[in-house]
Amino acid sequence: MKAHPRTRGPNKMRKREKKKAATAQDQPLRLNRILSLAGLCSRRQADQWILAGRVSVNGRVVREVGTKAFWGRDR
């Protein structure tokens, strides 16, 4: 009997989980992508938040779109 095509086996990962696993490497990512992967907002909305000064990294307010940070290391 075949499994239902929408079921996931033990080795299948959801799309968002794959993206998070790919970002676990030691490479900096753009802040808008980090915020989006965290589920806080879309990447476009994250750009608006950055321009408005609502985002800080390591205690410093970031106002430049395209700023990069490390996933899980920078706060």
Closest residue by Cα to residue 74 from 29, 21, 43, 12: 29
Structure confidence by residue, pLDDT tens digits, 13-69 = 676 666 666 555 678 999 999 999 999 999 999 999 999 999 999 999 999 999 999
Max CA distance (Å), the chain:
57
Tokens of 60: 């410093």
Supply the Cα-derived Rg of the chain in whole angstroms.
16
Q: Is the pLDDT of residue 9 over 70?
A: no
